[in-house]
Amino acid sequence: MTAITWELFNHQVAECRRCGLCGGIHHKVPGQGDPHAPLMLIGEGPGQVEDEQGLAFVGPAGQLLTRMLAAISLPRDRVYICNVVKCRPPNNRVPTAEEAAACMMHLRMQVSLVRPKVIVLLGSTAAKNTLGDTLRITRDRGQWFERNGVWMMPTYHPSALLRDPSKKREAWEDMQTLRDKLMELQLYPDLYGVSNDHA
């Protein structure tokens, strides 16, 4: 059996022709961040800026995501960020079920390599492709789902918050829920450590 390594993952994504999306892109966007982060965030697919730079969540939605993480004192370089599909769908359309399924082997390999304890699913595409088609983002956001010892929480995609700022209040609640889980599991003790104050 071939060992799963980052080298193999990078090669696999670079060579991938499993669906038609790679025909119209500038760069593949595998994902980036701390390769052993306790927290992974999964979005839908690269947008225009991501396609130009080959990096996930670096456009307007990514900048909002960075601010949301900062609001719970989490620097972006302490998490791992990627998408369901690694190639930009034309005009930012939602990836088809076939495209998402074709790309799932890459996401599975990333999860095996990072081994996160907590995964945040950003938007409906990430939530449905991970937790199943019956997932409804408006109904199920902010809830925890445990799968094989990994805690998963769907929340709104930052692009949805940019389109409809009235959703920001619920998204903020979800970020608090996330911070509580990270604290409970003691995943970032240097950021959320128990107080040493015995006075």
Q: Which is nearer to ligand URA, 99 or 187 (CB)?
A: 99
Q: Which is nearer to ligand URA, 155 or 159 (CB)?
A: 159
95 in Cβ contact with 46 (< 8 Å): no
Among 83, 124, 130, 177, binds ligand URA (CB under 6 A): 83
Residues 155 to 194 in contact with ligand URA, rule: CB under 6 A: 159
Q: Phi-psi category of 114—alpha, beta or left, where left has phi over 0 and alpha has psi -120 to 50?
A: alpha
Among 9, 57, 80, 156, binds ligand URA (CB under 6 A): 57
39/72 Cα distance (integer angstroms): 13
Both tokens of 157, joined, read 């995609």
Binding part of the chain for ligand URA, among 5-13, 19-27, 52-60, 164-172 by CB under 6 A, reads: 52-60
Q: Quote the least distance from Cβ 184 to ligand URA, whole Å.
A: 27
Among 30, 33, 38, 62, binds ligand URA (CB under 6 A): 62
| 116 sits near ligand URA (criterion: CB under 6 A) | no
| 43 sits near ligand URA (criterion: CB under 6 A) | yes
| Residues touching ligand URA, count (CB under 6 A) | 13
| 80 sits near ligand URA (criterion: CB under 6 A) | no
Q: Which amino acid, residue 28?
A: K
Residue bearing tokens 């670096």: 58
Binding part of the chain for ligand URA, among 37-45, 97-105, 147-155, 189-197 by CB under 6 A, reads: 37-45
Helix (H/G/I), strand (E/B), else coil: 150: strand
Q: Quote the least distance from Cβ 146 to ligand URA, whole Å.
A: 24
What strands, in cross-sheet order, belong to the sheet with 118-122?
A: 32-33, 80-83, 39-43, 118-122, 150-155, 145-147
33 in Cβ contact with 79 (< 8 Å): yes
Q: Which residues contact 86 (CB under 8 A, 6 or more apart)?
A: 13, 16, 28, 29, 30, 31, 45, 46, 103, 106
Which residues would be at the binding site for ligand URA (CB under 6 A)? 43-47, 50, 56-57, 59, 61-62, 83, 159
